[in-house]
Amino acid sequence: KALDEAANNFRLNPPLQQVHEMVCGDAFEEMKEMIRDTRKFDVVIVDPPSMASSKQHVDKATRAYERLASMALKLLKREGWLVFASCSNKINPALFFKTIEQTALKEKRPLRIVERTGHAIDHPVIFDDGQYLKCLFAQART
């Protein structure tokens, strides 16, 4: 359904009807195949489902974010754009952003952070786990 909505948005916005590709599948497997095929993209958007619904899952989720970020960075063209989101309520914003940024440094693809976002003003956060929406907008420097 999400891909259908994205396709409809492209149809409704002619300036966005440039070359694009929407992929449905296991992100780890799809990106691994793209890396193997030496594919490169101007923009890579990573928006996985929640990976940490309890504190026991935080380490595993953090490692998964590292793997996804590493693969996404390998798929970016020089000075490409990375958009990386999380909706895991047990991953606090500081840990999420630090994980992605440190992975970029390990991959020798430092990022120019454009924006770190969270909830909109109409979605007040009144408890710790309420900060589950996070998104990083960044450009690879190399």
Q: Is 136 exposed, middle or buried (0-12, 13-18, 19+ CB in 10 A)?
A: buried
Query: With contact defined as beta carbons under 8 Å apart, do 71 and 35 qualify?
Result: yes
Rounded-to-integer distance, Cα 111 and Cα 141, Å:
6
- Of the residues 45, 83, 87, 113, only one is catalytic, namely 87
- The Cβ of residue 92 has, within 10 Å, a number of other Cβ atoms equal to 16
Active site residue 135: no
CA 112 from chain centre, in angstroms, equals 15
- DSSP letter at 56? G
Which residues form the catalytic set?
Answer: 87
